[in-house]
Structure 1
Amino acid sequence: MNFTEFEYFKDIIQNRLDDYFSEEANAQQIKTPSFKDWGLFVPEMCIEAGLSEEEKIVLLLALCPHVHSNLLDSIIQDRLSTTGDFPQLGGVRGKNYRGFLPTGETALFITAGEDIEKRKEIQSFFDPDHFFAKHRILWLEEPVAGEPRMSGKIVFSQEYVELFTIGKVSKPEFSMKFPAQILETEMKWEDLVLSTETNQQIQELQTWITHGDTLLHDWGMHKKLKPGYRALFHGPPGTGKTLTASLLGKYTGKDVYKIDLSMVVSKFIGETEKNLANLLAKAEKTENILFFDEADALFGKRTNVRDAHDKYANQEVSYLLQRIESYKGLVILASNFKSNIDDAFVRRFQSIIHFPLPKAQERLLLWEKAFPSKVRLQQDVDLTNIAQRYELSGAEIMNIVQYACLCALGDNKKTIYQSYIINGIQREFQKGGRVMR
C-alpha cells in the first residue's frame, strides 16, 4: 500500500530525529495533509472531530505497523546504526510481529520532544475521556507493574484498522471476546402474528432503524437526543420476541446479534463490565442490532445494600446502564416479565413493547399459517374450535404442528388428523405442567 499521508509521516519522524541529534536548531514544520487528501478511508466521525495536527500524527503512528510494517524500522535502524541505543524513542517488539511497535513514549518523542507542557497535552490523548478512548480507536496497553504509564504499547483497534484500510468492518466471529451469534430467519413479516398494538409499535421501531440517522444528523437532533435506541420486549415465552428481532434486522439490512449472557456475566468483580465493554466496542463499529434474551440475568433489579457484594452488584448494574445508553445502534432487551428489569433501565427505554399470548382470532391465524402446503387437513380437523379452546403461544403451536406432521410421516400419510393435533396439544400442556381440559 502506498498512502501519501505516510510519506509526510516519514518526513515528520526523520525531521524530529535530525533535530534531536543535531547540535543546531534546524527543525522544520511539516504538517500532515488534510483528511480529504489521505489515501486511507477516514471515518466520518474522525473528520467531524476536527483532530489536531498532533492527534493526526499519533493516529498515523498507531496505524503504521498495520499499514507500513517496515516503515518505522527502516527509519529507526538507520539512526541506531550511528547512535547506538536510543531509549527516548520508546517502542517494543511483539511476540509474533518482530517489527517496531510504538509506545506512549514514542508518541511523546515524535510530537513533543522535551517540551514539558506539550508532553502533558500528548499524554491526555490516552486519557479515558479523550476522543480516541471514547470511540475505542486506540489506547495504551497496561504497562508492566511499576513501569511508567507511557511505556505501554499503543494498541489500535482491529475494527478501526479495517475501517481505515478497506473502508468497512468484517463481521465479528463468535468468541470469548464477542459472545454473540447472528440471528437469521427465512420467515417474513406476514408470517408473524401479533396484536394490532404490538405490531404498530414494531413498525415504529423499524422506522427509527431506517430514519434514525436522518433525525439525529440531518434534522440536527443529535444535540438533544442520546445516540442509539433502546427497546424492551416483554411477554411470555414463545410469543415472537426473538422472531421479531430477526425480522427487524432482515428488513433493515442490519445484522442481529443474540448475546450469550452465560459468557458475559461473571462472578469475578469487574469481569462482567469488562466483557460487556469489549462486546459493545466490537459491535458499535457497525451499529448493528444487539439482542439480549432473558435479559434479567444482566439487567435485573438492584437490591438493598446489606454487604459489600450487594454494593458491588448495584455498581455493576449502574455501569451496564451507562454503557448500554451510549451504544449508537439498537439494543433490544427481552424478558418474560417487565417487573424483573431494573427501574433505571425501564425509564431509559424509548419503546416498551408487550408481547401477550395470542387471542383466539390470532391463534386461528397461527394455526392456518403453520401447516406445510404439501399436507391436507382431514375433514374432522376444526381449527376454529381448537384456537378458541386452547390457549397456546405461537411457539407452542409450531411444536404441535411439527409433532402432527411427524405423526403423518410415521404413518406414511400426507393427511393431518384431529387426533394428531390433540395429542400434540396434550404433550405441550404436560411440558408446561398444565392440565388439559
Structure 2
Amino acid sequence: MEHLTIKENANTILKELEWLELLINNRLSHFFNPKEEFDYPLPPVLTRDESVFAKFIMQNELEDIDRIIIAMALAKIVKPQLFDPLLLKNKTFDTHYANFGGLYDKSTGRFEPTLATATFLCYNDNLLDKLNFIERFTSKRVFNHNEVLVLKPIDEGDHCLNQSINLTAEYYELIVTGKSYSPRYSSSFPAKELKTTLDWKHLIVNEQLFNEIEHVSTWISHQREIESNIYLNRIVNTGYKCIFYGSPGTGKTLTAALLGKKHNLKVYRVDLSQLVSKYIGETEKNLSRLFDKAENRRWILFFDEAESLFSKRTEVKDSKDKYANQQTGYLLQRIENYNGLVILATNLKPNIDKAFSRRIQSHLYFPLPKTEERYKLWKQSFSNIVDFPDHFLKTISEKYELSGGNIKNIIQFAWLSSKKLGSNIKENHVLAGIKKELSKEGKSFGTN
C-alpha cells in the first residue's frame, strides 16, 4: 500500500515537472523572440489522479502559479537540470538575465529559483499581474498558514519576490510519500507523539466527566467552522485550552490520546524536563520553537505534570522571582495565541496560576474511580487473560480504592508472578499485587 502511494505521487509529480519544463522552454522562446505568440501550456488535469499530491492541489484550489512554485521546489530536489536553460547570460553585460529572477549558486553551478522566477514564467513582464500575485501570495492560506514553503531572501532587505523557494520537511514528506509529517524528538522540539491502541470503551470514567470530554471533542469537530466564520471567531476562541486534573492513573493521558485518535490529529506529549532551563531566556526560546513548529498544524499539545511550568506567580522579592513571573507571562501569551488544543495535565490543580485558569475553557476533574467503575476496570483488564469469579472482582473493587493505573500495575505484577511459578494468574497473585501497590502509596492493605 505504501509503495502504491509513493508510485501515485511520483506520477503526479512527473506531470507537474513536465508542465514546468514546457513552461520554461516556451517562456524563454517567447522572451528571445517576442514577436512570436506565447504558447502557454495548460496545467495537467488531475481530477482522475488518486495521489495525495493531486488531492492536495485540488483541495486547496491552487492556481497555476501556486502549482508552479511547488513544482519548482520539487524540481530543485529531484530534477535540478530543469533550470539549466535559465543560466543563460546576457552577452551585452556578461551577467545573468535579471528578468529570470533567481540566483546562480557558485558552489553547485546550479540556478536557484525564486518567486521572481515563478512570476517571470507565468507573467513575464506584466506588472499588474505581478502586483496582484504579491497581494494574493502574502494572504494565501495554503502557503502562509500551512507552512508549505520555506522562503529565504537572497539578500537582507530584499522584496518578497527575491526569496528562494524550498519545501518544508512536512510537505516534502506528504507530497513524496503521502505520509503526514512527524517531527523527531530534539532540543528544538522536545515532544513525543502520543498514541494508543485502546478505544473509548477502555476509558472508564463517570458520566459527568465523559460529557465534559465530549464537549472538548465537539470543539475539535467544529474548529474549522469557527475559523472560517468571521462573526463567530470574534467571540469564540480559535484555540482551546483545558486542564485535566486529578490523581495519577485516572485516565488523563489516555483521554488526550483518544481525542487525537478520534479526530485523526497528532498528539504530542511535551517533555518539560527538556523545555525548562535554568538559564534566563532559554525556557522562552524553547517554548517559542515548540509553538512555532506546532502552529497551524492542528496538533494537540499535552503538557503532563504542568504545575512545574504553569505554577503560580509569586511576589517579586529578587531577580529570580521577576524572571519566573516573566516566564509565566510569556507562557500565557503563547498559549493564548495557539490555535489548536492545549491540554494541561496535573495532579495539583491549586498550583496552577490563576491567570491560566481564567483562560481555560474546560476544567476536567479525573477522580479516583468509584466501586462500580473499579469493577468495570478489573473485568475489562482481565478479559481474555484470566477468567476470575465475579464475586472476587466485586470484592476487590469494593475493598480497595485504586486507579486505572494502579490496576494496570497490579495485573502486570500478577502475570509476572504467575510466570515465575509456571502457572496461570491466581487470586493470591492479584492480592499480592494490590498489597504492593498500596504500600507504594503508604496505604495499608487491610484498610477498607
TM-score by shorter chain over 0.5 = yes
1:276 equivalent in structure 2:
290
1:240 deviates by 0.8
Residue 245 of structure 2 is aligned to residue 234 of structure 1: yes
Give 1:320's match in structure 2, choosing from 306, 309, 334.
334
2:366 equivalent in structure 1:
355
Kept in 1, the 8 Å contact 2:88–2:96? The answer is no
Give 1:414's match in structure 2, choosing from 424, 429, 440.
424
Structure 1: gaps (5+ residues):
none
Q: Spell out the pairing of 1:68-107 with structure 2 (5 A cutoff).
A: 68-72=79-83, 74-79=84-89, 84-86=94-96, 88=98, 89-91=101-103, 93=105, 99-103=110-114
Q: Which letter does structure 2 place at the counterpart of 1:313?
A: Q
Kept in 2, the 8 Å contact 1:91–1:106? The answer is no
> CA separation in 1, counterparts of 2:293 and 2:41?
33
Q: Spell out the pairing of 1:16-27 with structure 2 (5 A cutoff).
A: 18=32
Residue 262 of structure 2 is aligned to residue 248 of structure 1: no
Kept in 1, the 8 Å contact 2:22–2:41? The answer is yes
Q: Spell out the pairing of 1:41-190 with structure 2 (5 A cutoff).
A: 41=54, 42-43=56-57, 46-47=60-61, 62=73, 64-66=75-77, 68-72=79-83, 74-79=84-89, 84-86=94-96, 88=98, 89-91=101-103, 93=105, 99-103=110-114, 131=141, 132-141=143-152, 147-149=156-158, 153-162=164-173, 165=175, 168-176=178-186, 178-190=189-201
Q: Give the direction of change, closer, same or farther, for the CA distance of 1:343–1:122 in structure 2 (3 Å limit).
A: farther
Q: Give the direction of change, closer, same or farther, for the CA distance of 1:124–1:253 in structure 2 (3 Å limit).
A: closer
Q: Give the direction of change, closer, same or farther, for the CA distance of 1:414–1:81 in structure 2 (3 Å limit).
A: farther
1:244 deviates by 1.9
> CA separation in 1, counterparts of 2:237 and 2:406?
39
1:272 deviates by 1.4
1:366 deviates by 2.0
Kept in 2, the 8 Å contact 1:302–1:317? The answer is no
1:238 deviates by 0.3
Give 2:407's match in structure 1, choosing from 386, 394, 397.
397
Q: Give the direction of change, closer, same or farther, for the CA distance of 1:37–1:429 in structure 2 (3 Å limit).
A: closer
Residue 203 of structure 2 is aligned to residue 195 of structure 1: no
Kept in 1, the 8 Å contact 2:152–2:164? The answer is yes
Kept in 2, the 8 Å contact 1:377–1:415? The answer is no
Kept in 2, the 8 Å contact 1:231–1:332? The answer is yes
Kept in 2, the 8 Å contact 1:183–1:257? The answer is yes
1:248 deviates by 3.0
Secondary structure, aligned partner of 1:391: coil
1:2 equivalent in structure 2:
15
Structure 2: gaps (5+ residues):
1-13
> CA separation in 1, counterparts of 2:360 and 2:45?
38
Q: Which letter does structure 2 place at the counterpart of 1:321?
A: I
Q: Give the direction of change, closer, same or farther, for the CA distance of 1:107–1:314 in structure 2 (3 Å limit).
A: farther
The worse-fitting range, judged by mean Cα deviation, of 134-143 and 32-41 is: 32-41
The worse-fitting range, judged by mean Cα deviation, of 232-241 and 171-180 is: 171-180
Q: Spell out the pairing of 1:370-381 with structure 2 (5 A cutoff).
A: 370-377=381-388
Secondary structure, aligned partner of 2:195: coil
1:393 deviates by 1.1
Give 2:435's match in structure 1, choosing from 396, 417, 426.
426
Secondary structure, aligned partner of 2:363: strand
> CA separation in 1, counterparts of 2:246 and 2:41?
56
Q: Give the direction of change, closer, same or farther, for the CA distance of 1:331–1:118 in structure 2 (3 Å limit).
A: same
Q: Give the direction of change, closer, same or farther, for the CA distance of 1:253–1:133 in structure 2 (3 Å limit).
A: closer
Kept in 2, the 8 Å contact 1:112–1:122? The answer is no
Q: Give the direction of change, closer, same or farther, for the CA distance of 1:219–1:112 in structure 2 (3 Å limit).
A: closer
Secondary structure, aligned partner of 2:305: coil
Kept in 2, the 8 Å contact 1:299–1:320? The answer is no
Q: Give the direction of change, closer, same or farther, for the CA distance of 1:431–1:126 in structure 2 (3 Å limit).
A: farther
Secondary structure, aligned partner of 1:233: strand
1:194 deviates by 0.6
1:302 deviates by 4.7
> CA separation in 2, counterparts of 1:220 and 1:15?
50
Q: Give the direction of change, closer, same or farther, for the CA distance of 1:71–1:215 in structure 2 (3 Å limit).
A: same
Q: Which letter does structure 1 place at the counterpart of 2:433?
A: G
Give 1:388's match in structure 2, choosing from 398, 403, 406.
398
Secondary structure, aligned partner of 1:2: helix
> CA separation in 1, counterparts of 2:325 and 2:36?
56
Q: Give the direction of change, closer, same or farther, for the CA distance of 1:33–1:175 in structure 2 (3 Å limit).
A: farther
Residue 28 of structure 2 is aligned to residue 14 of structure 1: yes
Q: Which letter does structure 2 place at the counterpart of 1:102?
A: P
Deviations 1:348-371 (A, max 9, x none): 444322111112222232223332
1:197 deviates by 0.7
Give 1:295's match in structure 2, choosing from 285, 298, 306.
306
Secondary structure, aligned partner of 2:88: helix
Identical pairs, percent: 29
Kept in 2, the 8 Å contact 1:139–1:155? The answer is yes
Q: Which letter does structure 1 place at the counterpart of 2:95?
A: D
